[in-house]
Structure formats: C-alpha cells, structure tokens
Amino acid sequence: MNFEWLKRAMPRGLYGRAALILFLPVVVVTVVVTVMFLQRHFEDVTRQMTSGMASEIALVAARIDAAPDIAAARDSARQIAGPLGLDLVLPAAEEGADDHVFYDLSGRIVIAELHDRLPEVRAVDLGLRREVRVTLHGRWGPYQLVFPRVRVSASNPHQLLVLMVGTSLLMTAIATIFLRNQLRPIRRLARAAEEYGKGRIIPYRPAGASEIRSAGTAFLEMRARIERQNEQRKQMLSGVSHDLRTPLTRLRLGLSMLSPDYPPEPGEIAALEGDVAAMGTMVDAFLDHARDAAQDAPPQSVPALDFLRSIVADAQRGGQAVRLHELTGDEAGRATFSRDSLRRAIENLIGNAVRYGERAEVDAALGPSYFRISIEDDGPGIPPEKREEALKPFTRLDPARNQNQGQGVGLGLAIAADIARAHGGQLRLGEGERLGGLRAEIVIPR
C-alpha cells in the first residue's frame, strides 16, 4: 500500500509530531472509553428503569382489561395511574407510530424494551423528549399512558461529557506547556547548529532533559574542537608564510649578489642550499602533520602500559636517551585511543625532550578512568608565562624565529596538544621535579 499521502499529511516540525504522538493516543482512548462507558452504562440503566416502568404500565393495563365497561375501566385505571404518576387517555384518538429523534441513543432502548415486555404496546412516542407517550391496544380500544421521560432514562447524561471534556482540555493545556518546555532546548540546539552551519556562533547553554544536555554538550565540544582546528590551521598557514619569508628573502638577496661574469663561491652555494633545505623541512613537516591527521585510525581498546613500553623501546633503538621511570596501574589494563595518533604525540614529546636536554624519563599511570603519560627532561624548560604560547603551531619561543636554532619547526607540542584534545584529554606543561627540566603530561580518559 502507498502511504505517501499519510506522510504528506503528517506534521513536519518536531513540536507538531510530538504533540501528535502525545495527544492522538489520549484522544483515541478517551473516545473509545467514553463510547463504551456511555453505551454500557446508560443502556443498562435505561433498561432497568424501563423494566420497572413496564411493570407499572402492565398493572394499569390489567385494570383496564378487567373492567366491565369503558367508563369503569377509565375510573379503575386512573385510581392506580394517578399515584404511579401516569396520565391516562382513554380512549386514544389513534395508535400512531414509534417516534424518537436520531441522536436520542437511549430512546431506542426505551422503545425496544417496552415492545418486548408489553405485547399490547402499539407505539411509543418520544418526539417531545420530556415525556413518553405509550399507546396500547386493550379490550376497549387504543389508549395512551403519558409519563415524564426521566422515569425511563438517566437524566443529565451530558454532565459526564462536560466534565470529561473540561478535564481533557485542562490536562491538554498542562501537557502542552510541559511539552513546549521540553522541546524548547531542542529548538535552541537546532538553531545553534543551524547558525553555526552558516558560519555564525551564537550563545548556547545546554538545558532540558539529560539526553538533550548530553547532545548540547557534545555539540559545544564539537564546535570548540572545530574552532580550535580552524585556529590551528590559520596559525599554521601564518607560521608557514612567516617562516618561509626569511629563507626566501635570503635566497633573493643571495641571487641578486651573484655576478654573471664570475662563478659563485662555494660558500654562497652552500648558503643557498641551506635555505632551500630549511624550506623543504618546513613544508614537509606541515604536509606530514596534515597527512597524518587525515589518516588517523579509529580508537580501539589497547593494553595501555605495554603500548607505552613499545614506544620507549623503539625510541631507545633509535638512539634516543630515554628510559622508563615508573609505571603504575593494572598491568593488563586497557584504554581506548587511536594507536597511531597517540604514538605520534608521545614520540614528538620524547623527541623534544632529548633535543633540548641530554636525557628523558617517561612515567605512566593507569587509573580507574584516566591514562596519564608524563615525559620529563633535564633541559632548560619553558617559563610558566610562555607555556601556553609554546602549544601554538610554529612556535619556538624565539622572537626572531631564527631557523638555525633547534632542529624542529615548532609543531611537536602543537601536534601533541591537538591529539590529546581529540581524545577528550589535554596536554599539560610543568616543571620536572626529578630532572629539573620540562615535564609534559598527556591525560586522556580510558
């Protein structure tokens, strides 16, 4: 079957669909219960009341049929009909026919019950609704008994409907207010995401139910991570352009000083080759970082301490003066992270440590909810006021950005910090307590 028409008829917005999900079952259940209750309750009550009324009518009919003549029948019947609240019309003009309005549900039951219990009944007129006219055929011809309608059916059945409708409207209003309050945080989150997709950042604070708060917090973390990556990309591009400007200037100057009549001196050629090599190193570092970030493997559960031992062992085989100092925690404990990216971050920190110091030591702690890796060296360290700046790309804490100092391009700490943030952790820089140099510490959740 094709339900496309139903999809087109459904509300498009979240508020409309939530209201439909909330109110449609309530309305359906209320209608079904109401119909069943009214049908069962008023049908049974009407039958009981009509049955009692039929007994009284039968008593009057028996008096009429037992009388010797019509006058005696009239007098005898009225003696009983009066105390019973019945008006007698004897003889009646005509028998007539059954009559009731179409929406009079209990009227059908009254007519059917009187015909079943009193074979002499010829017609039941409920057209006036306030009274019942029962036409019977007796020994002296047709006659009528008239009595109030309340004698055979429950009065004021609309009170239940009014009470039910009023209560339903009240509860619907309360549910609408509650639903609006619950959907408002979702709409705020959707608006914040939509605006961010257009390049605009608007204030947003997670609120609402725990699931919505969790989604809002995840959105803020994602937005912050994207902004950090954008900022890092800008800093990298700015750093590359700035650092390339110096060797390019020297190249231009060196080329302008070459004479077309005399071959260049070996020192001049060596200087130009050094500038070209420095530019190649910088571009390669930038491309390696971009390529490695794009090829990161997804996080997986890894034996944490064995993973760190393998990194230190590889560094030692590579000739780096690094050793394991202390590993604490469950030897078989595992942590969830990307092996390639975290290895790259630790190797960068070890490389920085042995580059600016003579030796480095690695500590690790595997806690109940965290994995901490610390690399400490005996180098000059970084002053506290410059540690935040050191985490920026292409930063070597040298105002002149001299390419001849150090062997890196200032990406090691920036890459490590970015990898730690991608794992939901952070990179902290401090002063080493044992060796006195820089202590770089990566902390990520397990």
**CATH number of the 298-445 domain:** 3.30.565.10
Strand, coil or helix: what is 322? strand
- pLDDT tens, the chain, 446 aa long: 566 666 677 666 677 777 777 777 878 887 787 777 766 777 788 888 899 999 999 999 999 888 888 888 888 888 888 888 899 988 887 767 888 887 777 788 888 899 999 988 889 988 766 889 999 988 888 899 999 988 887 765 566 667 777 887 888 888 888 878 878 888 888 889 888 888 888 888 888 878 888 888 888 888 887 887 777 677 666 666 666 776 777 777 777 766 666 666 677 777 777 777 777 776 776 666 666 555 556 788 889 899 999 999 988 888 888 999 888 888 888 898 888 888 888 988 998 888 888 889 999 999 888 999 999 998 888 888 888 878 776 666 544 333 333 445 567 788 888 888 888 888 999 888 888 889 999 999 98
Q: So where are the chain's domains?
A: 3-158, 210-295, 298-445
**33 exposed, middle or buried (CB, 10 Å; 0-12, 13-18, 19+)?**
exposed
Picking from 390, 388, 380, the residue whose alpha carbon sits closest to that of residue 353 is 380
Picking from 390, 442, 388, 428, the residue whose alpha carbon sits closest to that of residue 411 is 390
Give the Cα separation of 110 and 48 in Å (integer): 10
**CATH number of the 210-295 domain:** 1.10.287.130
Strand, coil or helix: what is 363? strand
Decide whether 210-295 matches 298-445 in CATH topology: no
Beta-strand runs (E) in 207-285? none
Picking from 236, 232, 243, 238, the residue whose alpha carbon sits closest to that of residue 398 is 243
Amino acid identity of residue 435, one-letter, is L
Evaluated on CA atoms 308, 313, 318, 321, the torsion sign reads: positive
Give the Cα separation of 274 and 411 in Å (integer): 20
First to last CA, the chain: 50
Long-range contacts of 61-66 (CB under 8 A, 24+ apart): 61/118, 61/120, 61/136, 61/138, 64/90, 64/138, 64/139, 64/140, 64/143, 65/138, 65/139
**89 exposed, middle or buried (CB, 10 Å; 0-12, 13-18, 19+)?**
middle
Helix 339-356 and helix 266-294, axial crossing angle in degrees, nearest 10:
150
Give the Cα separation of 361 and 355 in Å (integer): 13
164 CB-near residues (< 8 Å, 6+ apart): 30, 34
Give the Cα separation of 377 and 330 in Å (integer): 26
Give the Cα separation of 327 and 39 in Å (integer): 78
* Eight-state DSSP code of residue 365: E
